[in-house]
Homo-oligomer: A and B are copies of this chain.
Amino acid sequence: MNKSPLRAAVVGATGYTGQEVLRLLRGHPRVRAAVATSESQAGHAVRGPQALRYVRAEDVRFDDVDIVFSCLPTGESGEWAIRARDGGAGAAVDLSADLRDGQGGAVYGVPELWRADVRGAALVANPGCYPTGLLLAMAPLLEAGLVDVSRPLIADAASGVTGAGRAAKRDMLFGEVAEDYRAYGVGNRHRHVPEIAAGFARLAGGGAPVPFVFTPHLLPVRRGILETLYVPVASGLTAADLTAASAARYADERFVEVWADGLPSLRDVVGSNRVAIGFADVALDGAPLVLGVVAFDNLLKGAAGQAVQNANLMLGLCEEEGLFQ
Q: Hey, which bits of chain A sit against chain B, CB under 8 A?
A: 16, 23-24, 26-27, 29, 47-49, 150-152, 154, 156, 158, 160-162, 166-170, 172-183, 186-189, 211-213, 215, 217, 219-224, 226, 228, 230, 254, 263, 265-268, 270-272, 274, 280-287, 289, 291, 293, 324-325
Contact = CB atoms under 8 A, between A and B. Distances in A.
Contacts of A23: 271, 325
Contacts of A158: 158, 181, 217
B267 A180 contact: yes
30 contacts: A151-B287, A156-B156, A156-B215, A160-B179, A161-B174, A166-B170, A168-B168, A168-B173, A169-B173, A174-B174, A174-B178, A175-B222, A178-B222, A179-B223, A179-B270, A180-B267, A181-B219, A181-B221, A183-B226, A183-B263, A187-B280, A187-B291, A211-B286, A211-B287, A212-B284, A213-B230, A213-B284, A215-B228, A217-B226, A217-B228
A275 to B, nearest CB: 13
Contacts of A174: 161, 172-174, 176-178, 220, 222
B221 A220 contact: yes
Contacts of A285: 211
Contacts of A173: 161, 166, 168-169, 172-174
A219 B226 CA distance: 12
B224 A186 contact: no
Nearest to A171: B168
Contact of A26 (B151, B228, B267, B325): B325
A293 B186 CA distance: 10
A198 to B, nearest CB: 16
A233 to B, nearest CB: 13
B228 A156 contact: yes
Contact of A175 (B166, B287, B325): B166
Contacts of A170: 166-168
B154 A230 contact: yes
Given A180-B221, A182-B263, 9 more contacts: A150-B286, A156-B156, A168-B173, A179-B224, A181-B219, A183-B293, A186-B282, A187-B280, A219-B219
A4 B318 CA distance: 19
A213 B175 contact: no
Nearest to A223: B179
B187 A152 contact: no
